[in-house]
Structure 1
Amino acid sequence: MVNLLLKHIDHVVAWGGATYDCSYIYKPKDEVELKKIFEIARTQGLTIAFRGSGQSYGDASMNGEHVLVDLSGWNKIISWDSSTGEITVQCGVTIEQLWRKVISSGWWPPVVPGTMQPTVGGCLAMNIHGKNHWRVGSFGEHVIGFTALLGNGEIVSCDKNDSSGLFHSMIGSFGMLGCFLTITLQLKKVNSDSVEVSSLSASNFDDLLMIIDQKKGCDYVVGWLDCVASDAIIGRGVVHTAMYLEAVEYENDNLITRYDLPDKLFLLPYKYIWIILKLFNHH
């Protein structure tokens, strides 16, 4: 059983590497231990925040000098129906786990962030957007239902037919109303496992917006700005678009290895890249 009094403060770093803090970190094994953390924190006047993969740009998953619940271990896929695209997962399942499970059946998460590591619970708590927001909306619009532990210790089950308003209130609530336990998503059918990517340069901000508007027929569109450009070329940047290719024959799960990223940038292992990036961060 979790005992808050016997724990110590641990160092926590934000994903961007520019901010850090110290928090009481706990890794509950089940809902019983999670409830106990809620109870003890309430009696001691401490706030609670939740951390999955710790991929938030800012300090959303830090909660300095208060309780931080690490749910990265809650990463089981509970059920998957390849005929309907409906999947139920624990809150700590990552986007990478999700697509690796479903891609060989011709399904894909309708909204994905810029990296593969955020958890489904974190994506729903922040109600993230993707590079196709104008087409499909945010992450929460594709949630069928969820179970959650509220601040008062009650476990609830919600779906889109919930008349209390809790379903829509929990989505995008930053975890301030409680903790997602399990989440059921409706995935989208895709024609293939590959996309065709195009890169277009923009000379200024007006040019960049014009290109984005012209490319709204693509499946994904994202613009990158040159933040040091000024005067007449302010907003200079690059627009990337992606379109799913036509249907191909799925070659069972062996195709998944094609999506593995290289483990080195030139000769430097990726796990050490943060050391170089930290030189450009400041506190």
Structure 2
Amino acid sequence: MAASTHPSWGRLTSGFHPAISVEAYEGAVAAGGSGEGARAIGEGSFLPYGNGRSYGDSCHNDRGALIEVRPRARILSFDPGTGVILCEAGVTLREVLERAIPHRFFLPVTPGTAFVTVGGALANDVHGKNHHARGTFGHHVRRFTLLRSSGDLLTCSPSENAALFAATIGGMGLTGLVLTVELTLMKVPSPHVQQHAIRFNTLDDYFAMIDRVDGEHEYSVAWIDQLARGRKTGRGILLAGDHADGSCEFPDLPRGLTLGVPFSPPVNLLNRLTLTAFNAAYLRKAKAGETVETVKWPGYFYPLDAVADWNRLYGPNGLYQHQSVFPEAHAPDIVVRLMETARRAGHASFLTVLKRFGSLAPRGLLSFARPGFTLTLDFANQGEQTLKLLDALDAIVLEAGGAINPYKDARMRPETFVASFPNYRNLEALRDPAMVSNFWTRTALAVEK
């Protein structure tokens, strides 16, 4: 068993963890308890690990070893007529797009980075800028194969092993090792996006137009200046969009990364001073009213992917990301309270993103996305004062009947998790006993003690 670096994207703890290959795990399972590898399969002794894009500790297991899924990255089949693709769990979304775009297919749902694995997208039931139109990643999964530590290799779909199908979507890798995934892609005239950038001066302006914008466009996401105060509180830019028509002549597959952060600076570079200047400049760049232009697909869906290791900008202590969802009726007040609470605590958020979730019922047992609005904030880790702030943000959300995203969390209290996901015991009942994560140990299992 080799020990190697497997960081989380938040870089809050050491990423040095014991790890084994998928083949080694398959061999241990096949041994059925008669060999050295099989004896290592005990309670909570493993956890699948994809490409390390999880912000928190749901991708770590200090009690055992990680199973490195990324090397298993073959696209097994793709039907350019239907858009159905079958691939191994270690394939990244970027690799799916490289195969699909030449045939004018795109991911029906994608998060803000293309460097997550398909298995990770399934395990976190990721959402994108079009939840109001397409739901989550799990809504487009047809089936997958799941290896349980018992030796059972199961095909899971809405009609076959349906309980495990629902538990694995958003199940954070706890139901077993996903080997292959089959999903349906979306036919598009062009991968690029006709973007409508709408500058707004207040949150009231945003909420007044969001019904219309979501009804007219496939994609919708708002960036907000979290540091603005007084009459400028809640100002931002709503970026709506639809796939451009087939006449778009941009090259469909751009070159790889051209920029990067080669090392972690000794201090946080995304602080109140630098972000105040950045926010003001970003808003000045956006024209008043509505601006329409065609944007290359990497720039619209994955702007931060252009800068390798951008998370290092938060300094040596890493970052926390806080994402919450709350009912629509309370949304305007909750957004203001969350941003002002962070500002009063002396914390500046670089990525302050507001989106609306649609009413499509979750497909996963523990899916985070649900009807309402979701706000994402990220903060450089300043130790105890950051933890106190995050607890305060949790309290505001829970009081409003909302929930905290477990897939991006690294510190929520067990009672916060239970309030957010009161049905968590249904996942625990289906959890593969060999699989556990640091997140599950400090939340769900802590409640059960």
TM score, norm. by length of structure 1: 0.84
Question: What secondary structure, in the 3-state scheme, does the structure 1 residue paired with 2:6 have?
Answer: strand
Distance in 2 separating the partners of 1:34 and 1:188? 38
Q: Give matches, 1:250-265, under 5 Å.
A: 255-257=251-253, 259-260=254-255, 263-264=258-259
Distance in 2 separating the partners of 1:31 and 1:76? 18
Q: How much has 1:34 moved relative to structure 2?
A: 6.2
Distance in 2 separating the partners of 1:208 and 1:33? 55
Q: Give matches, 1:164-179, under 5 Å.
A: 164-179=162-177
Distance in 1 separating the partners of 2:231 and 2:87? 49
Question: What secondary structure, in the 3-state scheme, does the structure 2 residue paired with 1:197 have?
Answer: strand
Aligned counterpart for 1:158 among listed residues 156, 159, 163: 156
Q: How much has 1:23 moved relative to structure 2?
A: 2.4
Q: Does 1:222 align with 2:221?
A: yes
Call closer, same or farther: CA 1:163–1:121 in 2, change over 3 Å.
closer
Distance in 2 separating the partners of 1:48 and 1:265? 32
- Further displaced range: 268-277 or 143-152: 268-277
Q: Does 1:139 align with 2:133?
A: no
CA RMSD of aligned residues (A): 3.0
Question: What secondary structure, in the 3-state scheme, does the structure 1 residue paired with 2:52 have?
Answer: coil
Q: How much has 1:136 moved relative to structure 2?
A: 0.6
Call closer, same or farther: CA 1:31–1:256 in 2, change over 3 Å.
farther
Q: What number of residue pairs does the alignment pair up?
A: 272
8 Å CA contact retained: 1:110, 1:136: yes
Residue 13 of structure 1 is matched in structure 2 by 7
Call closer, same or farther: CA 1:67–1:203 in 2, change over 3 Å.
same
8 Å CA contact retained: 1:220, 1:243: yes
8 Å CA contact retained: 1:53, 1:72: yes
What amino acid maps onto 2:54 in structure 1?
A: S
Call closer, same or farther: CA 1:63–1:219 in 2, change over 3 Å.
same
Distance in 2 separating the partners of 1:34 and 1:94? 26
Distance in 1 separating the partners of 2:166 and 2:180? 16
Higher relative strand content: 1
Question: What secondary structure, in the 3-state scheme, does the structure 1 residue paired with 2:227 have?
Answer: coil
Q: How much has 1:38 moved relative to structure 2?
A: 8.1
Identity %: 27
What amino acid maps onto 1:260 in structure 2?
A: R
Structure number with higher relative contact order (C-alpha < 8 Å, ≥ 6 residues apart)? 2
8 Å CA contact retained: 1:22, 1:65: no
Q: Does 1:25 align with 2:24?
A: no
Aligned counterpart for 1:278 among listed residues 315, 326, 332: 315
Q: How much has 1:161 moved relative to structure 2?
A: 1.6
- Further displaced range: 112-121 or 197-206: 197-206
Structure 1: segments with no counterpart, 5+ residues: 1-6
Question: What secondary structure, in the 3-state scheme, does the structure 1 residue paired with 2:101 have?
Answer: helix
Distance in 2 separating the partners of 1:41 and 1:208? 54
Question: What secondary structure, in the 3-state scheme, does the structure 1 residue paired with 2:114 have?
Answer: coil
- Further displaced range: 24-33 or 220-229: 24-33
TM score, norm. by length of structure 2: 0.55
